C-alpha cells in the first residue's frame, strides 16, 4: 500500500485550495491521515499506532478491497459538496475535482487501475439534479490523464428513497439489488475504481462492489471526496 504522510496531504491541500477557499475555510478542511482503517478508510480517534482494520470491517462483509477519501465530511468540505451537489454551482467543482484527483494519485495511480466507474444515479434523480456529481468529479482529469472511465458500465436499475435520513440497517435494505452491470465483458478481469462524492456508511458502494464482483471484476476499490465520521 502506498503510504502518504500527513505533511504531503497538508501540502497538497494548501496548493489546491489556496485560490478557491478563504483562510478560515481552508483551516476547516480536515484531510484524512494515518492511522485509519485499512479497508473502509475511516480515521481513528487516537493518532497513536499504525493503520489497521476497524471492528466494523472485521465483522461485516465488504465486497470492495479498500476505500480511501480526501477528507472528513464536515465543515467547509461538507458545505462545498452541498453547494456543488444541490446548489449547482459549477465553480465550486474546480478545487473538489483537484482534491479528488490528488487523492487518486496518493493511493493508486494510472498503472494500478483499469477502469474508473462513478456510482450511478437513477434516471429520475438524474433528471431532477441535471448531472451525476460522481461522474463530473472524474470526467475531466480521467480524460486528461488518459485513464479509462465508463459512466454507463454500472446502472441504477431500481428507484430508491434518499439514504440521508435512513439508519444503517435501513440503508442496506433500501439499496439492495438497486444496481446492475450492463455488460459483464467490460468488467471481467478488470481492476475497478468506484468513485462517489461521499462515503457515509458504505452501503451504496458496497452494493455496487458486490454487483461488480459478481460480474467477475478482479477487484473493486473505492475513492470518495469525503468520508463521514
CA–CA distances in Å: residue 20 to residues 25, 76, 84: 10, 12, 13
Indicate the pTM of the whole model: 0.90
* Residue 159, domain member (yes or no): yes
Q: Assign 4 a pLDDT band (cuts: 50, 70, 90).
A: low
Residue 119 lies in a domain: yes
Q: Greatest CA span in the chain, whole angstroms?
A: 48
**Grid cell of 213 as nine digits:** 464482483
Cβ pair 157, 189 in contact under 8 A: no
Is residue 22 situated within a structural domain?
yes
CATH number of the structural domain spanning residue 82? 3.40.50.2020
Average pLDDT, the chain: 89
Question: What are the pLDDT digits (tens) for 189-202?
Answer: 999 999 999 999 99
Tens-digit pLDDT profile for residues 28-64: 889 998 999 999 999 998 888 899 999 999 999 999 9
Query: Is residue 157 included in any domain, yes or no?
Result: yes
Residue 14 in domain: yes
Q: How many domains does the chain have?
A: 1
- In this prediction, residue 161 carries a pLDDT of 66
Domain hosting 46: range is 6-227
Whether pLDDT at 1 is above 50: no
Closest CA to 199 of 20, 38, 73: 73
Helical residues (DSSP H) of the chain, grouped into ranges: 6-17, 23-27, 55-59, 75-85, 93-107, 123-129, 133-144, 168-175, 203-214
The answer to whether the peptide bond before residue 161 is cis (omega within 30 degrees of 0) is no
Q: Rounded CA gap, 206 and 222, in Å? A: 9
pLDDT tens across 57-114, in order?
999 999 999 999 999 999 999 999 999 888 767 678 889 999 999 999 999 999 999 9
Residue 1, in any domain of the structure: no
Residue 76 lies in a domain: yes
pLDDT at 157: 82
Confidence of residue 214 (pLDDT cuts 50, 70, 90): very high
The span from the CA of 77 to the CA of 72, in Å, is 8
- Is 63 inside a domain boundary? yes
Backbone region of residue 189 per phi and psi (left: phi > 0; alpha: psi in -120 to 50; beta: other values):
left
Amino acid at each position: 500500500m502506498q503510504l502518504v504522510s500527513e505533511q504531503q496531504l497538508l501540502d497538497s491541500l494548501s496548493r489546491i485550495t489556496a485560490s478557491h477557499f478563504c483562510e478560515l475555510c481552508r483551516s476547516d478542511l480536515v484531510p484524512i491521515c494515518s492511522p485509519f482503517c485499512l479497508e473502509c478508510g475511516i480515521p481513528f480517534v487516537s493518532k497513536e499506532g499504525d493503520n489497521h482494520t476497524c471492528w466494523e470491517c472485521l465483522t461485516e462483509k465488504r465486497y470492495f478491497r479498500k476505500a480511501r477519501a480526501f477528507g472528513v465530511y464536515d465543515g467547509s468540505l461538507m458545505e462545498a459538496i452541498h453547494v456543488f451537489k444541490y446548489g449547482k454551482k459549477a465553480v465550486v467543482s474546480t478545487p473538489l475535482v483537484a482534491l479528488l484527483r490528488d487523492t487518486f494519485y496518493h493511493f493508486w495511480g494510472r498503472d494500478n487501475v483499469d477502469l474508473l466507474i462513478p456510482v450511478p444515479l437513477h434516471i429520475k434523480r438524474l433528471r431532477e439534479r441535471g448531472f451525476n456529481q460522481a461522474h463530473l468529479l472524474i470526467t475531466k482529469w480521467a480524460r486528461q490523464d488518459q485513464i479509462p472511465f465508463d459512466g454507463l458500465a454500472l446502472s441504477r436499475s431500481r428507484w430508491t428513497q434518499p439514504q440521508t435520513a435512513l439508519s444503517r440497517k435501513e440503508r442496506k435494505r433500501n439499496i439492495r439489488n438497486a444496481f446492475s452491470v450492463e455488460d459483464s465483458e467490460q468488467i471481467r478481469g478488470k481492476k475497478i475504481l468506484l468513485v462517489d462524492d461521499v462515503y457515509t456508511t458504505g452501503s451504496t458502494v458496497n452494493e455496487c462492489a458486490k454487483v461488480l464482483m459478481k460480474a467477475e471484476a478482479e477487484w473493486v476499490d473505492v475513492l470518495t471526496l469525503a468520508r463521514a465520521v
